[in-house]
Structure 1
Amino acid sequence: MAATIRANAPADWLVEGLNDFDMELCDIVERLEAMTPHRFPGDCADTHIDDLNQLLARIFDWADDSNVCLGL
């Protein structure tokens, strides 16, 4: 998912220091990139699926707030 977002989102949204940098989107993408089948970022008390579900909720909330169509 992170690779798809990086490939399709305007680069300015994901490069810190540029005018259109979006901290929320960048954080979501970086957390998705950090996930592996055996290691997930987030609170140790959360389960792996909880972390993924939270990131999915964040990306959909971000898209709604930013008026961005995810094309799903």
Structure 2
Amino acid sequence: MTTGLLCDVLKLPRQNVRRSLLGLLDKGFIVYDAGERRAAHIQLSAEGRRVTGLIVQRLTRPILGEVAAGQPTLAD
């Protein structure tokens, strides 16, 4: 993924995307190779992959519980 492509997909200004990327970089969630200005490559770090994996697991975990059957009770 490149910074330019990310800006296009998110429809956000380059400055906003760059600020967010630098925050993710500081936290160790991404690897950001800013070789050429227009061709900076962004990848998830091992920590970023671990954290996103935990988030996906939480989102895809089935919800267990009871569902009431029958006619709904209406408020007066």
Which protein is bigger by CA-based radius of gyration?
2
Please indicate, yes or no, whether the TM-score normalized by the shorter chain is above 0.5. no
Larger relative contact order (CA 8 Å, sep ≥ 6): 2
Q: Which has the higher strand share?
A: 2
Question: Normalising by the residue count of structure 2, what TM-score does the alignment of the two structures yield?
Answer: 0.29
Higher normalized helix content (fraction of residues):
1
